[in-house]
Structures are given as C-alpha cells and as structure tokens.
Amino acid sequence: MTPANAGPGQPRRPRRPAGRRLLALVWLWLLWIMLWGSLRATVVVGGLLVAVGVLTAFRMPPMRNRLTLRPLRLVRLTGHMLVDLAVSAVSVGWAAVRHGPRAPAAVIEVELAENSDLLIATTAYLTTMTPGTLVLEIDRERRLLYVHALPVPGQDAVDAQRRAVSAAERVAARAIRDSENRRTF
C-alpha cells in the first residue's frame, strides 16, 4: 500500500530484522530470569535455551518499517495512560452505581489520520484505556475504529468521545514515528 511496504527489495536495512530478533532474544531471556528470580547457572542457561527455542518455533513476521521512538514522549504517553486508566476506572464505577442496567451506550465510528499498524494498535490500546471507550472493531483497510462508549447521554457526548480518540491518536503519533506511516511530519 505504501512505498515502505512495496517489497523485499529494500536497500540499506538488510540487518534490521536480525537486530530485532536479538532484542527479542535478550528480552525473553531476561524475562525468564526475572520469573525465576535467581541467577543460578541452570536458570541462566535454561533461559537462553528456552528463548532460542521460542524464537525458532514462533517466527514473527519481519517488520520492514523504520521506527523512531522518542523516550521522553513515551514516558509522557505512559503517564497519560495511567492517569486515563484511573479516571476511567472511577467513571465506569460511577456509571455502574448510578445508571446500572440503563447505562446509555453507543457504538461510534472514528476515522484515523495515521496509516501504520503500530500506530493504529497503539491508538486502539490508548482508546481502551481512556475513560468511557472500548475498541470493538478495527477496520485496518479503511482506517476506521469502531468504539463502544459508555456512558453517552447524547449526541454531544458522542462527539466528545470521537475527539478523545483523535487526541489519543495524536499523542501516540507524537511518541512514535513509523516509516510505514503515510503522513509526513
């Protein structure tokens, strides 16, 4: 669809997938050691073997796009996410007590501006964490999110939720740059 997806004949980054696989290996290895909570030789060696085994058995599709992460903005993104989670927990709890079985809900279509798997996934994630919204359906082709919103007393609230999803998308796009993205910044 986009030039970055055009095919395997991409010059300049033949070694990227190997680097990413190494990163995955190190993460799995660390995870194993953290789960065991010890540095005994059997755990360390066994962890390496398990990590290699998992990566060979479950091949991930190669990602050909170039990612630029902005650490400071990622931290801000995480902070936003935690605050949103707290607010949404309070709001959904209040809705449960206040409205209960007659909670007014709506399914809203939101058009996305970005065109990258990772950004759409991040937006969907943030949307589920933000107050009142839960992603029901992702239409990757048309770049549409279908969001279940609760509580939605009227049309004003529908528009407000639509704007909230777009805002989440902008926060994500500011923290992550993806060469697959059609938009140029």
**Residue 54 to residue 153: CA distance in whole angstroms:** 48
Nearer to other proteins, 55 or 92 (CB): 92
**Residue 182 to residue 185: CA distance in whole angstroms:** 10
Nearer to other proteins, 45 or 82 (CB): 82
Centre a 10 Å sphere on the Cβ of residue 146 and count the other Cβ atoms it contains: 13
Measured in Å, how far apart are the chain's first and last C-alpha atoms? 19
**Residue 112 to residue 167: CA distance in whole angstroms:** 11
Nearer to other proteins, 20 or 125 (CB): 125
Token pair of 61 as six digits: 């599709």
Measured from the CB of residue 100, what is the shortest distance to other proteins in angstroms?
A: 4
Measured from the CB of residue 24, what is the shortest distance to other proteins in angstroms?
A: 15
**Residue 147 to residue 161: CA distance in whole angstroms:** 9
Nearer to other proteins, 129 or 173 (CB): 129
Binding site for other proteins (CB under 8 A): 31, 34-35, 37, 81, 85-86, 88-89, 92-93, 95-97, 100-109, 124-125, 128-129, 131-132, 134-139, 144, 146, 148, 150, 152-155, 158
Measured from the CB of residue 155, what is the shortest distance to other proteins in angstroms?
A: 8
Nearer to other proteins, 147 or 173 (CB): 147
Measured from the CB of residue 151, what is the shortest distance to other proteins in angstroms?
A: 9
Gyration radius from the chain CA atoms? 20
